[in-house]
Amino acid sequence: MKYIACIVLVVGFGQTAIAQQLQSDAGIVRACFSNTPVGALYPTCLGEASGQCQEQPGGSTTVGMAECISSETAAWDAILNEEYKATQVALEEQDSAGGAQILDRTDALREAQRAWIAFRDADCTARYAIWQDGTIRTIVGANCHLTMTASRAIELRDMRGF
pLDDT tens, position by position, 52-82:
999 999 999 999 999 999 999 999 999 999 9
Domain count, the chain: 1
Buried b (16+ CB within 10 A) or exposed e, 9-18: eeeeeebbeb
Q: What's phi and psi for 147, nearest 5 deg? A: -60, -45
**pTM attached to this predicted model:** 0.84
pLDDT score of 80: 98
| Distances in whole angstroms, Cα of residue 140 to Cα of each of 22, 30, 41, 83, 136 | 19, 23, 19, 26, 6
Q: Give the residue from 153, 159, 149 showing the smallest Cα distance to 73.
A: 149
Q: Give the residue from 154, 121, 139, 118 showing the smallest Cα distance to 70.
A: 139
Residue 75 lies in domain: 2-159
What ranges make up the beta strands (E) of 27-153?
none
Given a cut of 50, whether residue 127 has pLDDT beyond it is yes
Beta carbons within 10 angstroms of residue 160's beta carbon: 13
Q: What is the crossing angle of helices 62-96 and 105-130, to 10°?
A: 160
- In the structure, what pLDDT confidence band is assigned to residue 98 with cuts at 50, 70 and 90? confident
17-41 pLDDT, tens per residue? Answer: 444 589 999 999 999 999 999 999 9
